[in-house]
Amino acid sequence: MGKYHDLAEKIVANVGGKDNIRSLTHCITRLRFKLKDEGKANEEALKNMDGVVTVMKSGGQFQVVIGNHVPLVYADVLDVAGITGEASEEDEEEKGNIFNRLIDVISSCFQPFLGALSACGMMKGFNALFLYFKLYETGSGTDLFLTAAGDCIFYFMPIVIGLTAARKFKVSEFTGIAIGAALVYPTIQATALGAGKPIMTLFANTILESPVFIKVFGLPIIANNYTSSVVPIILVVWFASHIQKLAKKVIPELVQTFLVPLFTILISVFFGFLIIGPVITFLTNILGSGFTALYEFSPVLMSVVVGFFWQVLVIFGLHWSLIPLAMINLSTLGFDTILAASFAASFAQTAVVFAMFFKLKDKKLKELCIPAVISGLFGVTEPAIYGLTLPKKKPFLISMIGAGIGGLITGLFGAKSFIMGGLGAFGFVSHIDTANNDVSSMITQFIAVGVAMVFSFVVTMLFWKDDEVTEKTEVQNEMGVRKEIVTSPVQGNMMPLETAKDEAFAQGALGKGVVIHPTIGEVVAPFDGTVMTLFPTKHAIGLISDNGLELLIHIGLDTVQLDGKYFEAHVEQGAKVKRGDKLVSFDIEAIEAAGFSVETPVIVTNTADYLDIIESDKQEDVCNSDELLTVLV
């Protein structure tokens, strides 16, 4: 039950009940209903309801004005009404290439449990440290306890991500947990099934050769190990979200409580094992053959490639393509150079995070850096990757380059590992040739790690800048009052806010501000700050100044219905801007010809945070350099 469940129930009841709702979307402040019969809605009850600012009817939509927390109310209304709604303007699929979108999805799935992930990583590291110094024996009760406590979240990663991915893709949370639990069920893992005899082999004598140990509904299932994996569970839950939507449409509401989860779990898990397992196996086999060919062509080049891509392979669970090759080398040659090439990767990642500690502006992320560094030094880099470098993208790339340089050094000097030893700092001793009492490979790894770490740290410090907004700071003058000037973002005729044609803006329900009737179709930044919200339709943009002032610039009235036509954005969401930078351009004549007003409210949405907001007394044409609002703190 959400925070606004009670309010959602009242809203649904007063728009005529869930059967009267044809569809529902939301914009930055409003629930936008399309009702079957607007006559069934009780407008007065809604207007007088706590939590509702006002009610508007425009463009065939019944609009309930809520405020900035409308996404939370929207989610609860969907739950109460038992509908899926339509893609809201803020929830439309983010544009960009599929790799960037996948990174964003992975990062958002890890964000809720980063604290626990870091804590478990530290436990794993300290346990390895204590074992190394023989404070207790391997297999002792203390070792088993700390291993269980430290490994739990890593081993059962699909269950945890099943929960967070369910929230991301709007699947029932317990359905997501159940799917994750199915993926890590012990007897269905490849290691368990591999103990038996295959019933058949697919693609025999090819690089896609795959033994089959079980059939489900007569179809062969290619086994894989899903414990500690990340991408498979995200893909399965994403697939489950579509199954759940379909199930809710076709299954009678009376029995949806148990039949929707039943079919969602059954179908998604089945297709997960049927498709995802084989895909990962095929990719692993292909990569294994590719790395073998690359090694035969140039061991040095192979070392660079392994070092550079190692962290990416781990994310997708494809590093298993190299493990068998390394084990074969160890058993036949007595040493291995493949895994030796990846050794510097965790240290490069750790060095990047250490540099980020000095440059991050977000205090919560900054607090994660030290635990991530500690666990990273012991070879546990998940907190660093998923919590810090991957979401920021550039630091992750820097760590890849640093790891590639480390791989280059190991390849040039022929560094070898002689055992499948410990991780991180405890892995150095794995490069000692005890048979010949030769430590040259270990010395090479010290050099490779040192160079990779220095490179990664220095490059991050010099070339990475955190674009996140810092927490608001107040610099007071002698009178205890700070003021911030907002210049006009639009050139045109300025009017008092109460003259706005839109009642919600005119009443000041969304905050104080002014209205501008544009004469030039261009919006520029009214202060130095960050683009916090840029609608896909480009008709509205939300900014936050470097001092924390939040400003909404809403170009036209009901122009959301143009779906971006006649608008062009010159910045992206999250971009840092300077006063005067061009943000959005729009075609005034075309918008008006389409029947829409270009009247542009400029609103301070966090009005309550300030002592006063003083409008310019210039009731005439304003230019972009003119002072529009003076905000007092």
Active site residue 120: no
Name the least confident of 87-91, 606-610, 622-626: 87-91
Among 247, 242, 267, smallest CA distance to 257 is for 247
pLDDT at 501: 87
Contact 114, 80 (CB under 8 A): no
Higher pLDDT, 451 or 94: 451
Segments forming the whole domain that contains residue 173? 156-288
| HEC sequence for 381-394 | CHHHHHHHHHHHCH
For residues 205 and 166, membership in a common domain is answered with yes
Among 493, 480, 461, smallest CA distance to 628 is for 493
Among 368, 369, 340, 315, smallest CA distance to 449 is for 340
Mean pLDDT for 590-609 is 90
Q: What is the pLDDT of residues 14-55, one digit of tens each?
A: 999 988 998 888 766 678 888 989 899 998 899 888 888 778
For residues 73 and 194, membership in a common domain is answered with no
Q: What is the total residue count of the chain?
A: 633
Q: Round to whole Å and give the CA distance between 616 and 135.
A: 71
Q: Round to whole Å and give the CA distance between 496 and 616.
A: 10
Q: Which two tokens stand for residue 621?
A: 């044409």
Q: What is the pLDDT of the chain when averaged over all its residues?
A: 85
Q: Round to whole Å and give the CA distance between 138 and 544.
A: 54
Contact 295, 340 (CB under 8 A): no
Q: Round to whole Å and give the CA distance between 451 and 249.
A: 58
Residue at 302 is within a domain? no
Residue at 142 is within a domain? no
Q: Round to whole Å and give the CA distance between 140 and 125.
A: 17
Q: Round to whole Å and give the CA distance between 228 and 230.
A: 7
Name the least confident of 120-129, 202-211, 447-456: 120-129
pLDDT at 93: 43
Q: Round to whole Å and give the CA distance between 428 and 193.
A: 34
Among 89, 156, 28, 52, smallest CA distance to 550 is for 28
For residues 456 and 597, membership in a common domain is answered with no
The 627-632 sheet, strands edge to edge: 483-487, 627-632, 612-615
pLDDT at 177: 96
pLDDT at 471: 39
For residues 356 and 487, membership in a common domain is answered with no
Q: What is the pLDDT of residues 440-451, one digit of tens each?
A: 999 999 999 999
The domain boundary residue, chosen from 23, 58, 81: 81
pTM score of the predicted model: 0.54
Residue at 135 is within a domain? no
Higher pLDDT, 258 or 328: 258
Terminal Cα-to-Cα distance of the chain (whole angstroms): 37
Mean pLDDT for 354-363 is 87
Q: Round to whole Å and give the CA distance between 461 and 455.
A: 10
Q: Round to whole Å and give the CA distance between 247 and 260.
A: 6
pLDDT at 477: 39
Residue at 141 is within a domain? no
Q: Which two tokens stand for residue 144?
A: 């088993």
Active site residue 5: no
Percent of the chain topping pLDDT 90: 40
Residue at 506 is within a domain? yes
In whole angstroms, how large is the CA radius of gyration of the chain? 29
Among 264, 444, 426, smallest CA distance to 337 is for 444
Q: How many domains would you assign to the chain? A: 4
Mean pLDDT for 251-255 is 86
Q: Is the pLDDT of residue 95 over 60?
A: no
Query: What one-letter code names the amino acid at 572?
Result: E
SS3 content of the chain, % helix, strand, coil (to 5): 50, 15, 30
The domain boundary residue, chosen from 440, 468, 496: 468
Contact 310, 375 (CB under 8 A): no
Q: Which two tokens stand for residue 469?
A: 């907004």
Q: Which two tokens stand for residue 416?
A: 């070898």
For residue 15, the domain's CATH number is 3.30.1360.60
Contact 333, 83 (CB under 8 A): no
Active-site hit among 26, 27, 369, 431: 27
pLDDT at 59: 59
Q: Quick one: CA torsion of 231, 234, 235, 241, rounded to 10 degrees?
A: 180
Higher pLDDT, 632 or 49: 49
Mean pLDDT for 435-444 is 89
Q: How confident is the model at residue 8 (pLDDT cuts 50, 70, 90)?
A: very high
Q: How distant is the alpha carbon of residue 254 from its chain centre? A: 36
For residues 525 and 402, membership in a common domain is answered with no
Q: What is the pLDDT of residues 194-244, one digit of tens each?
A: 888 899 988 888 878 888 999 999 999 988 888 888 888 999 999 999 999
Mean pLDDT for 104-126 is 79
Residue at 144 is within a domain? no
Mean pLDDT for 412-439 is 84
Q: Which two tokens stand for residue 50?
A: 């706590």
Among 547, 548, 552, 571, smallest CA distance to 489 is for 552
Give the SS3 label for residue 501. coil
The domain boundary residue, chosen from 444, 468, 492: 468
Helix (H) or strand (E) holding 43: helix 43-47
Contact 574, 528 (CB under 8 A): no
Q: Round to whole Å and give the CA distance between 554 and 60.
A: 20
For residues 169 and 22, membership in a common domain is answered with no
Active-site hit among 26, 69, 554, 570: 554
For residues 280 and 173, membership in a common domain is answered with yes
Q: How confident is the model at residue 464 (pLDDT cuts 50, 70, 90)?
A: very high
Q: How confident is the model at residue 397 (pLDDT cuts 50, 70, 90)?
A: very high
For residue 493, the domain's CATH number is 2.70.70.10
Residues 6+ apart with CB under 8 A from 285: 207, 208, 209, 210, 321
For residues 499 and 604, membership in a common domain is answered with yes
For residues 369 and 398, membership in a common domain is answered with yes
Residues 6+ apart with CB under 8 A from 59: 558, 561
For residues 487 and 463, membership in a common domain is answered with no
Q: Quick one: CA torsion of 457, 461, 462, 464, rounded to 10 degrees?
A: 110
Residue at 415 is within a domain? yes
For residues 231 and 332, membership in a common domain is answered with no
For residues 170 and 45, membership in a common domain is answered with no
Q: How distant is the alpha carbon of residue 577 from its chain centre? A: 23
Helical spans, DSSP H, in 334-439: 338-342, 345-359, 363-377, 382-384, 390-392, 394-412
Q: Round to whole Å and give the CA distance between 548 and 605.
A: 11
Residue at 56 is within a domain? yes
Contact 411, 341 (CB under 8 A): yes
Q: Is the pLDDT of residue 473 over 50?
A: no
Q: What is the pLDDT of residues 139-170, one digit of tens each?
A: 999 999 999 998 898 899 999 999 999 988 88
